[in-house]
Amino acid sequence: MLNLTLKQMRYFEALARHRHFGHAAEACSVTQPALSMQIKELELTLGAPLLERSARQIRLTGFGETFLERASGILRAVDELDDLAQAANGKPAGRLRIGVIPTVAPYLLPAIIGQLTQHYPGLDLNLRETVTPKLLQELLDGRLDTAIVALPVSEPALTEVALFSEDFVLVRPAQDADRPVPDAAMLREMRLLLLEEGHCFRDQALSFCSMASTRPRELMDGSSLATLVQMVAAGIGVTLIPEMAVPVETRSANVSVTRFRDPRPSRTIGMVWRRSSPVTRQLADIAAVVRQTAQKQPSPVMPA
């Protein structure tokens, strides 16, 4: 019988994810030599190499790919045992690994954290901020318990629960405040500043403007909403941002913020989690707390 340990499998999964011994060791909160030793012992126990090592990169062998799939399934099952025990007590998991997209995290997380810790004393919140495709993959892989994203995600293995809807607003230079509010057709003729590829908010804005995802001549990218707003203040173009971002991103920028005419561009934000999760009922209760928290946030005052 093979003497494998969960520690070895977790280290190997981290190494397979990062493809770098140093980064994997950091993710596992261990030293690089300690992680390397465990991987070597794992290969010796298995009697076959898991990795192809070179000076520049790490690749998984064919056996390594197969082992990773099986080991990941074992680790997910072990993690769910703790969730199952918590569910039996009618409580949320002691550790809640929650992912949030970047166009929500800075504006809603502080309030959410406060309310969740108030409702569930002792809850250990582990937060992860990244773009939707990465969050969904980590959720499906069992590395997250739930995620707050824009709906729909249309993934059969996930449960979707709507939390709230919000409008997109137009941000343009302050000197343009008295100009007519452009419609989608007019926006297509303007220099439009959007988040870089990978952000769902970019795709939603392009959809409103009926523009393809390919890069038009007058389309410019930014890495964050804060960058986009500052670019607008510098007179480079115009942008769309979600309503919840207005108080934070425009307070120190010389810009004008205006609502669009109907039909206004908007999005629905929701929580998603695996249908197989043993703490589905508890996650639904947490979603209700998040929904109530979001509804209590003040709406920015801006011209229609």
Are 117 and 238 in a shared domain? Answer: yes
Q: Is 175 contained in some domain? A: yes
Query: In terms of DSSP bridges, do strands 51-53 and 58-60 run parallel, antiparallel, or are they unpaired?
Result: antiparallel
Task: Output the pLDDT for position 214.
Answer: 46
Domain range for 249: 94-304
Q: What is the pLDDT of residues 15-51, one digit of tens each?
A: 988 888 988 899 888 999 999 999 999 999 998 899 8
Please tell me the pTM assigned to this model. 0.75
pLDDT of residue 91: 58
Give the whole-angstrom CA distance, residue 211 versus residue 203. Answer: 9
Q: Which of 218, 223, 252, 261 is nearest to 238 (CA)?
A: 218
Domain CATH for 69: 1.10.10.10
**Do residue 79 and residue 113 come from a single domain?**
no
Strand-pair category, 192-195 with 238-242: parallel
pLDDT value of residue 304: 57
72 and 98 assigned to the same domain = no
Tally of structural domains, the chain: 2
- pLDDT tens sequence across 198-229: 788 888 888 887 765 544 445 678 889 999 99
268/121: higher pLDDT = 268
Query: The domain spanning residue 272 has which CATH number?
Result: 3.40.190.290
Mean pLDDT of the chain: 87
Nearest to 94 by CA among 70, 118, 121, 76: 121
Write down which residue in 52, 84, 116 finishes a domain: 84
* Residue ending a domain, choose from 58, 84, 110: 84
**Residue 174: which residues within 8 A CB-CB, separation 6 or more?**
233, 254, 255, 256
